[in-house]
Structure 1
Amino acid sequence: MSNYSILLKPVYSQTVSTPEGLKLPGNWSLSWHQVETFKALQDPNIEVIFNTAMTGDGKSLAAFLSAMNNRTYTLAMYPTNELVRDQEKQVQGYKAQFQPKYDPQIHRLTAAILEDYVDTGKLPSKLEGLDNISTLYEILLTNPDLFHYIHNFYYLRGKIDNPDRLFRRIDERYKLFIYDEFHIFSSPQIASVINTILLIKNTANDPKKFLFLSATPNKLLQGFLEKAGITPKIINPVDVGAYKFDGDTENQGWRQISQPINLTFPQSLEPNLRSSYEWLEENAEKVILKFFQDYPNSKGAIILNSIAAVKKLLPKFKAIFEPRWQVRENTGLTGETEKRNSVAEADLLLGTSTIDVGVDFKINFLVFEAADAGNFIQRFGRIGRHEGFETYQAYALIPNFLVARLFEEQSHPLQENETYDRITFTNAIRNSWIDRNEFERYPKRWGGIQSAYIYSKLQGNPHMKEKYPDVAKKFGTDIQKALEISIKQMNGQVYRCQSEEKTEIIDEARSFRGSSQLDCAIYDLTNPDDPEVDRFKMYNLPGILSNFIFELWDKESFMEKAKKTGVTTKRFEKALCYLKLKDFREVREDWHFYYPGNIRELAKTSKVQVLKDLEICQPHGYGIQQISDAVSRRKLVCFISDRDRNYLRATLRLPMHFQLYPVTNEPENRGSWYSIAFGQDALLLETLTWHWKPKDDEGWIC
């Protein structure tokens, strides 16, 4: 048997009567969780709300009911720009249907949009841009990165501006702050959110609401809030029986939110980078094309972990499917125009994580990889959200040992050809997967750096002391309880880094998702249909070295061409280097980092370092020496381990996209390997391995 298949029952969500004072369009009815969320947002005793309704059950509507009915100025944050774009359409749709009397203005804001706004308006800085935008729009859709930097005193003009110059304006205007799909983030972002919530709590004139929307809530975040004395309101339909899974809908009060889905698990996939790619190559015609031939009105998506895999598969699927069915792409390297159009226009969409988080697909066919249980549930949730198709079919491309746990081992939870409800199935997936590392020590080790910086601004600035009496004491008390840190010890940590001229480490700890130390400016020629303006992008060097054929370009020529095209160039100014991406590699290129110094002693310290003189060793590639020179000149925040990276990944349960690379001080001898992580990943890795003893055998190979 080459596959296991099961059937997932449809899902029905309980609807309830509309609360008094809440107006709905036409014959609408609300699900239980939507009403409970609306009630919680009106309750003055509730600060933080977690809505954990299933994917496809209308959590976004629950979030914006208050804005559509009660003039609640709302700032909503989404982890990807693609989801910001998708939600902008959703919220505009709510406005058209609810027709609120105050006619809220809705705006989408990303880093690129902000740069264009500043450049077009000839404003002196992003400060003025954010200041203007915050006064113009009642509903602002953005990302948590911008929100973090506003509340960590970025964008200010040194001593000219008071620390609350910008965040006060934002916090006074908006009453509800929404964090959507926050489960995809790790402990650094959780620490940031705790710092931000406690800053707002202790400086805002009136109470604010924080709403977290996620089908897979984060226990770490909940724990920190409770330690700070904030008990979140948990709205979970599963706990109150607000879902059912049978097809008897004669009884009123239930709305179908998911169709029945056939789910197939191929058995033969080895746990390596090429297995899914090879399965798709082999089954492109006999499985995927055949499904579209049998059900010609189908819409489908293939969600993979690797941009390179999508790039390589795209022309193969185009050759098979077109012109009858349109095949499109949507990845981190896809131009903005294609991203904007592809979800709506594609019959078969090939994409990566840009489309697996929250985007509302109307599809009945799905093939997907998954990195962990949460990622599996998230991606599987893209299918079956809309009626109108004859059948719904998904293929889960997960490694054979996981399939064995689900179907073959002694305590296996699933049986071939059986039917399951979504809750039983979700629990089976969670219990069969080894959870990824949540880096629980990070907030206490590094997240407190943000806390200490905020505290210093509150305590040491005369304006802040006058405007917010006792705020430093209140914030300090709250954050020390929440993260279980000592502000005094955090200040000592900052002082040591400054005295050792390692301020880059402090900058890394204060960032939201980490800095872009190895990001390159690229002119992308891999998609011939991209408009010229969409070819200018940023992408990380390791991904380029592994997967793309490229050509070195000088900064002056790159910038000149970008300006002539009408592209705002500020984001390219600090790029590591400037490249033309010409094509993708059929086989991943082998390369590694080289450090000419005493790498053994660096690994023994078990500390985050700031290093120069790192080099790149790659057997092929035009311009590799110039790129290596650029890397060697840059001071890089990194952590070096004397363990092989495969050992570290397996032993520490590192997330799939954790950036970990081979490094050696013997460029001609490939038998002696160390591992190196950069930026925020370096800080994360240190929290897991600082207590390890150095290996005695330096020639050890995993």
Structure 2
Amino acid sequence: MSNYEISLKSVYSRTAPTPEGLKVPSIFSLHWHQVETYKALCDPDIEVIINTALTGDGKSLAAFLAAMTNRTYTLSMYPTNELARDQLKQVQGYKDKFKPKYDPQIQRLTAAILEEYVNTGKLPSKLEALENVSSQFEILLTNPDLFHYIHNFYYLRGKIDNPDRLFRRIDEKYKLFVYDEFHIFSSPQVASVINTIVLMKHTANNKRKFLFLSATPNELLKGFLENAGINYKIINPVEAGAYKFESNGNNEGWRQISQPINLSFPQGLEPNLRSSSTWIEENAETVILKFFQDNPNSKGAIILNSIASVKKLLPKFKALFEPRWQVRENTGLTGETEKSNSVAEADLLLGTSTIDVGVDFQINFLVFEASDAGNFIQRFGRLGRHPGFTIYQAYALIPNFLVARLFEDKSHLLQGGETYDRITFTHAIRSAWIFKNQFTRYPQRWGGLQSYYIYNTLKSNSHIKEKYLDIDKKFGTSIQRGLGIKLEHMKAQYYRCKSETKEKIINEARSFRGSSQLDCAIYDLTNNHEPEAERFKMYNLPGILSNFVFELWDENSFIQKAKNVGISTKRFDKALCYLKLRDFREVREDWYFYYPGNIREFAATAKVQLLKNLEICQPHGSGIQKISDAVSRRNLVCYVCDRDRNFLRATLGLPMHLQVYPLTNEPEDRKPSYSIAFGQDALLLETVTWHLKPKDDEGWIC
């Protein structure tokens, strides 16, 4: 199989004079975008800053410069725990170099760490733990989910606590709120963030600053900010001419942020789940191992979409590479110890999305899959960030039709053998991925339920009304303009769900990334080197059915074993079932959902609803009937469509993370013609199928 080969030029970022009054260590020469971000943070008229600097250009320093020099207490949010862990090291490094006089205390906070605070401190609830943490640390690194729930009145003790008990404490303590890598989120998270910003705008004594770090800013976000009357500024080094791609022998005033890279596009990869891992297996010795043999001091990464693919490839590469080179894994199923050590210790790291978002690799070799243009740019951006290697090589494993669009179409976005600057190349990649659904109708259909819940709480609570003058009117006016909603319509939708005992749908709409209706508690035996305490995890049932050999375990035995090794078991309370993962499947298992009733009737409603008695049909698998029974007992938030999932993905431009599963009412039907989505995915899917005409031609879905 031949490759298309291109080269990418180096990238240089323009430096800028340090603003007057700002003291930085002599080893730092600030980049243009860092200075402009600092100035925007000091401007009292700017509420939101969006920094679009390229990957590797020091956006993290831009975020924490104020914290290191001006005593700006900062709460920074990251979409993955792995990125938060990586950034903790960065921020501690800044503190060591800047040596701020007020000696800010720094802490990373995840759901697991929060539970640990509760248990070790013998606190009554997460509420007290969050209050303690916010009072002790001037720099807090967490996730946007936790921040969202704080501002949606979670963690409170019902009517005992005033609605602002927790969010007021957080908002008064921290002055800057950072959303890192925000482009990976979709419209539900954008709507959630707008609700939070508008709430804070009308309740904080002083204006708080919000900084979004993203090489590819979300257009929905910008539009909603404008509509809500929130003053924002975009820091765009590309438009400002703050990048160059040639050395020209004189780099004074410029700093190199990316090394020159050779990029190969293998041809002939079919658009299926196995093509990438097949290519990797076939080229493990002749391409990947040979690169390390020819360049013995190399470091590399293979980033794939599927945990199962990583699990299958890991033993093969260990057999090829070790003991000369160390091979490690880093996925959603990898324990905390391995995750924290793998990036630093591995010569070759195999991972999934846990390592593609913002993690700072020192590598010169990369093989990666990509599901869309943003994902491609994100993963490719892991390479070339550090000097010290003689060659930087990447292989992009994308389907043949995308390679054809890049190199063979009349537009000639790219030509083999040519050299490109990063801006031209990025534009070509974005042009090749023609369509990815942005779910623009979601905020009006479902995001507004969050808005109404907040509005109604502000309006109906006497403490809030006394403390914040006309808060309900101010919030209501801003959020209606911002999201383009009418709160009266949202009120009707809210109480209709309540009257039909569909509060689960309301809870799904109020969540940040959706609930975990099909998550199972697992005891993972697929990694022999994991500490015993880290074998206890949560993982989604569909992924287990497709990729793993497992056996059913009873709840009491699972919980007792977890307690015996000192594990907090609260996170397993809502588990669908309890399983032992024994091995991964070499061949992906075929399975589907089965509903014994009238699917056609559910599909015809074209609305998100609650569904019980759903079952699973799978040819093999230990304990499948008991698991199916557990699914059947649950009242699941779902959306049923009378199209198969391949049609939906192709027609609607559904992103990879949106999961749609086959559904049938014929137990022996191996090619189901219906599809089903759950939780937040169900809400999203409903908003984009309104124009599809039902197969039975009974009218238009609207």
Q: TM-score range by the shorter chain?
A: over 0.9
* Structure 1: stretches of 5+ with no match in the other structure: none
CA distance in 1, matches of 2:137, 2:371: 38
Contact 1:607 1:690 in 2 (8 A): no
Q: Which amino acid aligns with 2:300?
A: G
Q: Tell me whether 1:274 sits opposite 2:274 in the alignment.
A: yes
Work out whether residues 11 and 245 of structure 1, in 8 Å CA contact, stay in contact via their aligned partners in 2. yes
SS at 1:237 equivalent: coil
CA distance in structure 1 between the partners assigned to 2:265 and 2:247 by the alignment: 25
1:443 aligns with 2:443: yes
In the alignment, the residues of structure 2 paired with residue 534 and residue 394 of structure 1 have an alpha-carbon distance, to the nearest angstrom, of 33
Question: Post-superposition shift, 1:199?
Answer: 0.2
Look up the equivalent residue of 2:174 and give its one-letter code: Y
- SS of equivalent residue, structure 2 residue 388: coil
* 1:672 to partner: Cα distance: 4.8
Q: What is residue 531 of structure 1 aligned with on the other side? A: 531
Greater Cα offset, 414-423 or 666-675: 666-675
Q: How does 1:190-339 map to 2 (within 5 A)?
A: 190-339=190-339
- Correspondence 1:53 to 2:53: yes
**Structure 1 residue 249 displacement after superposition:** 4.5
The answer to whether the aligner puts 1:455 opposite 2:455 as a matched pair is yes
Aligned to 1:375: 375
Report what 2:622 is aligned to: 622
Q: Secondary structure at the match of 2:520?
A: strand
Is the CA contact (8 Å cut-off) linking 2:14 and 2:255 kept in structure 1?
Answer: yes
Gaps of 5+ in 2: none
8 A contact 2:363–2:386 mirrored in 1? yes
CA distance in 1, matches of 2:514, 2:449: 14
Structure 2 counterpart of 1:679: 679
Structure 2 Cα separation of the partners of residues 433 and 491 of structure 1 = 38
Q: Note if 1:469 corresponds to 2:469.
A: yes
The answer on whether the counterparts of 1:265 and 1:395 sit within 8 Å (CA) in structure 2 is yes
CA contact (8 A) 1:612 1:636 kept: yes
Partner SS, residue 205 of structure 1: coil
Asked whether the 8 Å contact 2:577–2:627 carries over to 1, the reply is: yes
> Structure 1, residues 526-565: CA drift from partner, whole Å, max 9, x if none?
0000000110000000000000000100111100000111
Alpha-carbon distance in 2 for matches of 1:109, 1:137: 11
- Could you say what secondary structure the match of 1:504 adopts? helix
1:568-590: CA deviations, max 9, x gaps? 11000110000000000000111
Q: Distance in 2 between matches of 1:346 and 1:227?
A: 47
Quote the offset at 1:693 in angstroms.
2.8
CA distance, structure 2, for counterparts of residue 28 and residue 302 of structure 1:
32
Does residue 42 of structure 1 match 2:42? yes
The residue type equivalent to 2:432 in the other structure is S
Q: Does the Cα contact within 8 Å between 1:330 and 1:338 map onto a contact in 2?
A: yes
Are the aligned partners of 2:662 and 2:672 in contact in 1 as well (CA < 8 Å)? no
Partners in 2 of 1:397 and 1:229 — Cα distance? 43
Please state whether the residue corresponding to 2:165 is helix, strand or coil.
Answer: coil
RMSD of the TM alignment (CA)? 0.9
For the 8 Å contact 1:612–1:633, the answer to whether it is kept is: yes
Alignment of 1:99-178 (within 5 A): 99-178=99-178
In structure 1, give the amino acid aligned to 2:633.
R
Of 662-671 and 310-319, deviating more is 662-671
CA distance in 2 between partners of 1:61 and 1:30 (Å): 9
Describe how 1:331-370 pairs up with structure 2 within 5 A: 331-370=331-370
CA distance in 1 between partners of 2:234 and 2:569 (Å): 44
Letter in 1 for 2:305: N
Change beyond 3 A, Cα 1:576–1:251: closer
Q: Specify the code of the residue in structure 1 equivalent to 2:60.
A: S
Counterpart code for 1:608: V
CA distance in 1, matches of 2:577, 2:602: 27
1:683-698 → structure 2 map (5 Å cutoff): 683-696=683-696
- Name whichever of 248-257 and 292-301 sits farther off: 248-257
8 Å contact from structure 1 (residues 639, 677) kept in 2: yes
- Deviation track 1:205-245 (CA, whole Å, cap 9, x = no partner) reads 01100000011110110000000112320000000110000
AA in 2 matched with 1:625 = Q
CA deviation after TM superposition for structure 1 residue 24, in Å: 1.1
Counterpart-to-counterpart distance in 1, 2:273 and 2:6: 26
Structure 1 350/11 Cα, relative in aligned 2: closer, same or farther at 3 Å?
same
**In 1, Cα distance between the equivalents of 2:49 and 2:239?**
16
How many residue pairs were aligned?
Answer: 698
In 2, Cα distance between equivalents of 1:247 and 1:589: 52
Output the CA distance in 2 between the equivalents of 1:395 and 1:354.
19
Q: Cα offset for 1:251?
A: 4.2
Which whole-Å CA distance do the structure 2 matches of 1:251 and 1:76 have between them?
Answer: 33
**How many angstroms does 1:670 deviate by?**
3.4
Paired residue for 2:429? 429
Q: Partner residue of 1:406?
A: 406
Q: Retained in 2: the 8 A contact 1:9–1:245?
A: yes
Q: Which residue of 2 aligns with 1:76?
A: 76
**Matched-pair contact (CA < 8 Å) for 1:520–1:578:** yes
- Residue 120 of structure 1 deviates from its aligned partner by 1.1
1:590 corresponding residue in structure 2: 590
> 1 CA distance for matches of 2:533 and 2:27?
45
Question: 1:30 is paired with a residue of what secondary structure?
Answer: coil
2:93 aligned partner: 93
Between the aligned partners of 2:62 and 2:295, the Cα distance in structure 1 is 34
Instruction: Please say which of residues 638-647 and 26-35 is displaced more in the overlay.
Output: 26-35
For the 8 Å contact 2:658–2:681, the answer to whether it is kept is yes
Letter of the aligned partner of 1:561 in structure 2? K
Give 1:432 deviation, angstroms.
1.1
Q: Could you say which residue in structure 2 is the equivalent of 1:646?
A: 646
Check conservation: 1:37, 1:235, Cα contact below 8 A.
yes
Which residue of the partner structure matches residue 544 of structure 2?
544
1:620/1:246 CA distance change after superposition, 3 Å: same
Question: Which contiguous aligned blocks of 4+ residues in structure 1 show a shift greater than 4 angstroms?
Answer: none
Retained in 1: the 8 A contact 2:644–2:672? no
CA deviations 1:182-219 (Å, max 9, x no partner) are 00000000000000000000000011000000111101
Partner of 1:580, secondary structure, is: strand
- Secondary structure of the residue aligned to 1:256 is strand
- Under a length normalisation based on structure 1, what TM-score does the superposition of the two structures give? 0.99
Query: Does the residue aligned with 1:264 lie in a helix, a strand or coil?
Result: strand
How far apart are 1:21 and its partner, in Å?
1.1
Give 1:692 shift. 2.8
Offset at residue 669 of structure 1 (A): 3.2
User: 1:458-497 alignment to 2 at 5 Å?
Assistant: 458-497=458-497
SS of corresponding position for 1:464: helix
Bigger Cα displacement from structure 2, 164-173 vs 27-36: 27-36
Deviation at 1:27, TM superposition (A): 3.5
Q: How big is each residue's C-alpha offset from its partner over 1:402-445, in whole Å with a ceiling of 9 and x where there is no partner?
A: 11111111111111111110000000101111231110000000
Report % sequence identity.
Answer: 79
CA contact (8 A) 1:76 1:178 kept: yes
- C-alpha contact 1:182 1:214 (8 A) present in aligned 2: yes
> What letter corresponds to residue 264 of structure 1 in structure 2?
S
**CA distance in 2 between partners of 1:604 and 1:435 (Å):** 27
AA aligned opposite 1:359:
V
Which one-letter code corresponds to 2:466 in the other structure?
A: E
Contact 1:373 1:435 in 2 (8 A): no
